[in-house]
Structure 1
Amino acid sequence: MFGSELAVCQANGEWSTNEPTCSDTCFVFTIAILCSRPDQVVNGGYTLTTSTTIRVGTRVVYHCDNGYSAVGERVTQCNSDGEWSSIPPTCQDINECQDDIDNCDEFAECTNTEGSFTCECNVGFTGSGESCTVIECPHPRRPFNGFIFPVVAPQDKWVSNDYVIYSCRDGFSLSGPENATCQPDGAWTNGNRPPTCSDINECEEQPCDPNASCRNRIGSYTCTCNEGYSGTGSTCTEILCPALNNPASGSVTITSRNVQGVANYECNTGYRLDGPQVITCFSNGRWSSTPPACVDENECITGAQCDIHATCSNTIGSYTCQCHQDYTGTGEVCTSMFKLYI
């Protein structure tokens, strides 16, 4: 045989040498070079350009599953030495969260997993993670006779960490927590049960004047000056009627110038009262009547002690009796002069 005993089929479809020549009887043996089946890759696979014998020049294309990317050569071919041109690539997990290729909502947290990722709504939000909506608390209730601040939600809705402060009207005291916070689950820390505003009994603090009486009212109180006093109730002054002078030709005795005090008038002998004998001090600070006067009494009319045979003559504060003609005596007693000579 003249020529090479071995010929190899090359990638271009040509044999590596010409056919040898034989003298007399000669046999030509052709040996095909084959590559072994390519190795599988974890989390991926490959496709061959042939589905039968893997000959020189056969190509393998590797691919990775969703969520993975290939590291290394994705394409290799069978060489003439029966070996593959490169080792298989590896399929590594893609961090969709880090590479910002996730589809999570802006109010969700992305968590990378092997070959995928998860989306979970942030605290205070609800939804699939790909779509999240804020969790709202109901409008806070106002305590009876009280207030809440702020009255309107800061963001037009009550959401997580929003809070309200409770207060009461003047005259009431707060019983219970002074504030409440909207929780992430949409419930208030107090269950939307506001505190109570209880009436304050201001009279226990004795806010009125010592000479006044206090009356408690719902959310307030009133002070009223006691009898004999006047003022706002917060301050009271004693009511006194004006001082009284003795009347001419008489006298006055005053028990008190306070309310219900009395003044008792008397006149000297020969005089009588013109007006009431007793006047009373009223709560308006005035006497019940103008003071009386002592005026001359006409005893000749009211009962002078003159004899029947005498003439009574009234004088200022007194009177005189003068016996009639032909009568003699003091006037209070008169004797006929004719009897004296009998």
Structure 2
Amino acid sequence: MEMQDFPVGSQISFICRPGYMRVSGMSLTWTCGDDLEWSPKGVFCTVRKCTYPGDLENGYFNLTDLTFGSKLTFFCKEGYRLQGSEEITCDIKDEGVGWSGALPSCEKIPCEPPPKIANGVYEESVSYVYQSSVTYRCRDVPKGSDPFSLIGSATIHCTSDEHSNGVWSGPPPECRVVKCEDPRVENGRKISGFGNAYSYKDSVVFECEQGYFLVGAEVITCEENSTWVPPKPTCEKTPAEVCPAPEVPNGLLVPVKADYDKGESVQIRCNPGCSFPDGSAEVTVTCGEQRSWGALQHCACKPEGSGSTPVINYGRVIAGQKSSYSVGDFITIECYTGYTLQGEPRIQYTGDNQWVPAVPSCQLSGYIIAIICVIVVVVALLAAFWIYKKFFSQNGKRDSTPSSAEYKMCNP
């Protein structure tokens, strides 16, 4: 039966719970004193700790503390995977505490042996682990036989998937006989890649004979399906008395056509800000002999920039002012006292002395105009008063003088 009240002098003893142990020097017995208080005071049971489990080679764990009830979660470095428990706990064991399981290990992620390929080999190894690689090559063939070509990436390496399973970085290559026919182009000739037999990745470069022009690619390559990619070109006879449209960097043609007859002229106009070396913006050329335009000159363009500060009447630039401006530069404008800005205060240079938004203006403020109007009205009123006083008052004096004279004459 548990007691609710204890007389003075009573003693009670405690036992530390599992996972806790007695604090050295602290009594487990309390006594009820004359002051009706228990003594001695203080913590007498403290939590037990598990021993440090050791370092995890090629891995790590989130160590916060080692006290009873704490957990350790284990992780492996890239290229390794966990063998054993992912998590252990500091639990009660026998008379004390201990870890719920053994420390796991981190092993390097293994891959299965790489796949074999027909007519090809690779250097075999005892094991294949993360980041190891193998390189394939094709078998040699008897002299006089067509050799094998390696199609695809020669080297693959061991990597891992999302579940830390070892996988190869890609499919293995193939060993295949690739043999493209000797490409011949009528009215054309090879200028590179001479030979009679062509295998994988061999290339040939063509040009046409005089009087013919190339249709298609000038470089072709023997690909894995024993075909030329792109297809071999053809050499077409150049149309008589016709000039192809001249190339005009930084300019345009007038009129625009794909080709021009012999003797036909075309005008070349340079783009804005561009000109020919002599300073002109237009030139006319004529289709001449042998489909030639003669010595064509190109339009040279001035670099975008060299913009000047815009004129702001009754205002000024307060930020961004420079001696010259490049496309993209900004300036900020404000008006003098008494004037109001009409437009945006911040504008950007876009080239050819153009600003976006447009350059603002400074207009006289409304209250200044009102003051001027008041002054004008006051001046007008004063002038009117002065005129009235000067002329109308004098007229009144002239009228009174005769009356006074007449009055004097009537008196004896």
Range class of TM-score, shorter chain: 0.3 to 0.5
TM-score (norm 2): 0.30
TM-score (norm 1): 0.35
Q: Which has the larger radius of gyration?
A: 1
Name the structure where helix makes up a greater proportion of residues.
2
